[in-house]
Every structure is written in C-alpha cells, then in structure tokens.
C-alpha cells in the first residue's frame, strides 16, 4: 500500500531563512501528490498539488514543491519564510484502492518561525 514519510517532525527557523521539508512516498507509477497546511486554530488548506506535467509546482503564499520521480520525493520549499508560516505541514498522496481514491497523509511537520 502507498505510504508517505515526512522526515522532519519539528523545524524551527528564523524569519527570512529558507525552508525545505522532505516528503517521500512509497512506490511509483502514477502519483497524485499534495501538500496541506494547518495554521494554528484553522482547518486544513491545500497548499499545492502535483498530478502531471511540470515537476516544479507553484502553490499559494510563495511555496513550491518539486516532484522527483527517481527519488520518490515531493519536497516543499520556500526561499524566505515569514512568522505567519508557522503551521503544521502535511504531505499526502492519493492511493487508489478498492475502486476509489483515498488520501494517505504523512505524519506532519511542525514549523515554528521566530521573528
């Protein structure tokens, strides 16, 4: 079965630092990949997605992610973080099973950005 690994559970950065959060999924073939963000006290929001095409995906709020098929990876990046990026970030992949699709989430990465 498809699974997702997020290697960084807690990340602490200063404002203006660059961010890269790791995400690996378990097997190849056609994959649909997502990053979701959960700001404190708010619900999950879709940050960006990859279905096909250009492996470098741009999302909201200056985030981007790169799909590297050979590495089974979909890392999230932002060149300069802000205090408002403090949140929990979840990588997710679609698993096709039993005739329907379901989202498999990674464990999440808590990002704290200090002013």
Tell me how far, at minimum, the Cβ of 73 lies from another protein, in Å. 18
40 sits near another protein (criterion: CB under 8 A)? no
Contact between 39 and another protein per CB under 8 A: no
The only residue of 58, 107, 112, 114 in contact with another protein, by rule CB under 8 A: 107
Min CB(54)–another protein separation in Å: 18
Are 73 and 28 in contact, with CB atoms under 8 Å apart? no
| Integer Cα distance of 35 and 75 in angstroms | 9
* Selected binder of another protein within 59, 108, 111, 113 (CB under 8 A): 108
Our CA angle for 84, 104, 111, nearest 5°, is 20
Sequence-ordered list of residues with C-beta below 8 angstroms from that of 98, at least 6 positions apart, any chain: none
Is 43 a binding residue for another protein by CB under 8 A? The answer is: yes
**Does residue 60 belong to the site contacting another protein (CB under 8 A)?**
no
Q: Are strands 73-78 and 19-21 parallel, antiparallel or unpaired?
A: antiparallel
106 counts as binding another protein under rule CB under 8 A? yes
Please say whether the beta carbons of 94 and 49 come within 8 A: no
Minimal distance, residue 101 CB to another protein, in Å: 5
Compute the CA torsion angle 79, 59, 9, 3 (nearest 10 deg).
-140
Please give the residue ranges that form the binding site for another protein (CB under 8 A). Answer: 32, 34, 36, 42-46, 49, 51, 90, 94, 98, 100-108
């Amino acid at each position: 079965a498809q699974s997702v690994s997020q290697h960084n559970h807690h990340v602490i950065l200063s404002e203006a630092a660059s961010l890269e959060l790791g995400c690996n999924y378990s097997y190849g073939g056609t994959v649909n990949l997502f990053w979701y963000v959960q700001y404190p006290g708010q619900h999950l929001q879709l940050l960006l997605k990859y279905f096909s095409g250009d492996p470098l995906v741009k999302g909201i709020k200056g985030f981007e992610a790169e799909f590297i098929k050979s590495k089974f990876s979909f890392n999230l990046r932002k060149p300069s973080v802000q205090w408002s990026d403090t949140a929990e970030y979840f990588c997710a992949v679609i698993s096709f099973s039993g005739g329907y699709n379901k989202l498999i989430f990674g464990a999440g990465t808590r990002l704290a950005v200090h002013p």
